[in-house]
Structure 1
Amino acid sequence: MVQDYLIYSTAWASFGLVHSLLAREKAKAVLKPAFGAFYRAAYNVLAGLHLVLVYIIGFMLFDGLVDFNRPEWLAVSQGLLYGLGWIVMLWALREYDLGKLAGIKQIREHFQGIMAHDEEPLHFNGFHRWMRHPLYTAGFMILWGRVSNDFDLMTAICGSLYLIIGSHFEERHLIRLYGDHYATYKSRVPAFIPWKGQVDLKEPKL
């Protein structure tokens, strides 16, 4: 069983490493000229396929597991957390340009002769007034809300570590991109738990 945990953790580590490396400026400088407007979409497809592979490995390793014997109050609480996580996720996504996030907008504008920017602008509205990473917060809620066996538990642990480490690298990039404006936002707004209250800041433009 320990070997299964190590293999699954390694699979998650490979996903985090590849995903992070491809998001770095050096990787973009090398790959983007080759992919052009298709870079963001290709990046998302590769990340999605890699994550599916990680889950398949997990399903194979932990096949036939028996669910934990959870008290009813815990199962109900997790169900509420899971459902609320999806509500937060879907609501927070409304604040993004989903076409640009997916890479579809860049491809469409490429064929219209328009040079599209890959970077998503900073968001200080909606949930972003309370926490810097509402999508990651929703991810935590979904991951831990569905824990009912060893596979779910390992997925929640590895997924949470990926989100925490990934947010660190993402914020380093945002500080390089937006400078003091993002540094000020970071100092005033919590990362995942909205314990400071609402903050109003003007959104900068690229």
Structure 2
Amino acid sequence: MDWAAHGLYALAWASFGLGHSVLANASVKRRLHTLGHSYRLAYNAVATVHIALVFAAGHLLLGEAPPFPLPVWARAALFDITGLGVALMLWSARYYDMARLAGTRQLREPDAPEDEDLRLDGPHRYVRHPFYATGLLIVWGLAQDPLGLATALWASVYLVVGAAAEEHRLLRLHGRAYAEYRQRIPGFIPAPLIGRRPLSPQK
């Protein structure tokens, strides 16, 4: 195993996580106040370029390693897991204000709140972090070679740490309502799979 290549790829992922955290920091937002309502859009643009560079580094460092010698049924099962993750992510996107997440709504509607109300419908009835949970399915389904496995590992670390940071933000934003929700619904594993009841459908 090329430990140096894996170490450099891990550092690339660490740079992405650190950069994401720095740009999301409230004090940094205040310093970049000149961006105004374009901040979220700029934040997403920087993050997109950064993660693309991380993936490019991964391909340069580990992309030539051969796939693992998996049986056909195992490889098919992993692709099915990835497909399920993509399908569930697309379904979950229906329950988010994607224009707000992208940062385009802030440009069209400058007076609109930066954050959505607490969502308890759709996939949120089963898990607190639908995008992170489906992202885990996707990356682990693609872990069929050294690059895919390393990506799954470091992406998982990023998603788990990112979810923890998101929890703190949501607790500050929604207070007791989110604290009660967090006690009832798991973060990544759908509630029925661990013997919990999902939330009742919202009318």
* Counterpart position of 1:96: 96
SS of residue paired to 2:109:
helix
SS of residue paired to 1:158:
helix
Residue from 114, 118, 122 that aligns with 1:118: 114
Q: Calculate percent identity across the aligned residue pairs.
A: 40
* Counterpart position of 1:181: 177
* Counterpart position of 1:159: 155
Does structure 1 residue 58 correspond to structure 2 residue 80? no
Contact 1:185 1:201 (C-alpha < 8 Å) held by counterparts: no
Shift of 1:119: 1.4
* Counterpart position of 1:70: 70
* Counterpart position of 2:36: 36
Question: What code does the residue aligned with 2:123 have?
Answer: F
Question: What code does the residue aligned with 1:91 have?
Answer: W
Q: Distance in 1 between the 2:172 and 2:136 partners?
A: 26
Question: What code does the residue aligned with 1:148 have?
Answer: Q
Q: Distance in 1 between the 2:27 and 2:161 partners?
A: 19
Does structure 1 residue 4 correspond to structure 2 residue 8? no
Q: Distance in 2 between the 1:122 and 1:47 partners?
A: 24
Contact 1:4 1:62 (C-alpha < 8 Å) held by counterparts: yes
Contact 1:101 1:120 (C-alpha < 8 Å) held by counterparts: no
Does structure 1 residue 18 correspond to structure 2 residue 19? yes
Runs of 4+ in 1 over 3 A off after TM superposition: none
Question: What code does the residue aligned with 2:114 have?
Answer: D
C-alpha change, 1:125 and 1:175, in structure 2 (3 Å) is same
Shift of 1:24: 2.3
Deviates most, 60-69 or 7-16 = 60-69
C-alpha change, 1:80 and 1:201, in structure 2 (3 Å) is closer
5+ long unaligned stretches in structure 1: none
SS of residue paired to 2:70:
coil
SS of residue paired to 1:192:
coil
1:85-132: per-residue Cα shift (whole Å, max 9, x none)? 00100000000111111001111224xxxx222213221001101110
Q: State the TM-score, normalizing by the size of structure 2.
A: 0.93
SS of residue paired to 1:142:
helix
Deviates most, 191-200 or 35-44 = 191-200
C-alpha change, 1:83 and 1:177, in structure 2 (3 Å) is same
SS of residue paired to 2:29:
helix
Shift of 1:76: 1.6
Q: Distance in 2 between the 1:154 and 1:91 partners?
A: 27
* Counterpart position of 2:186: 190
Q: Distance in 1 between the 2:173 and 2:102 partners?
A: 20
Contact 1:129 1:189 (C-alpha < 8 Å) held by counterparts: yes
